Structure 1
């Protein structure tokens, strides 16, 4: 008897969270779909990635309360897109033997994937070239969505130093990644 009471209590405790999640899905799913659609041409894949974003979000949200769930959702979606670009079945989707008589037409999606792969390679290389402190500040702000104040407290810096490292990282990454080498 006691077990049934616990189940009913757990369900009541989950109801506000489920309501908030439903409201968040209704407001953010269309935005995420537009964001993902810029990188993915297939509408079915867009919806799959939106759904995968929310599944990852729910799993991560169980560990603690998130202050800015919208930003966290965008970060998850961005990471899923990066992971998708890294997967071999997307990066090297088609392997054909090439004869001299055979012309290969590169589909726009393949061209985009080659460009995205090249961009990602330049980005990761430039990120690795940053000094350790600058790279850590950049990572904490862009990947973990920490504020400058939170980063300063975590690393024992002042906010001005955090801003310096972010500016340094952004300028360096921009110059290294957005070149036509």
Structure 2
């Protein structure tokens, strides 16, 4: 990603477009924690405009996430100063590490919800085998004995469940 910043620093419009496409949702999610949706849109736009306008001052060793987070925090504060009677307490904005942790927790919860919905769409027997293996921690042999099926049938159900889940969740990645 640091190569992307180097290209932006040189004025590469395509690199800037890539940066925006990769990170605008993340910046937007951060902004919506402190502003409504329309205001967050404005703040996101301000963040990327600021990065473009100050691209020549970007240090070579800066981390992309740190640049985006600090610029977002700065633009959010600027927006509050211009549009709110009560200024934003910058101490109420979490540190980058805390925000990253919260963001990761949010994404993990969303992925678990999607996976759960996909598991519920498995055929009943396959869902039962999947649940016994992944949630109950039973071995292939224990599942086979419990359900009175062969060990190879257990393996087949788990393989087909994995393929189905991989296919179903593919569109949610990224």
TM-score range, shorter chain: 0.3 to 0.5
TM-score w.r.t. the length of structure 2 is 0.43
Q: Which has the larger radius of gyration?
A: 2
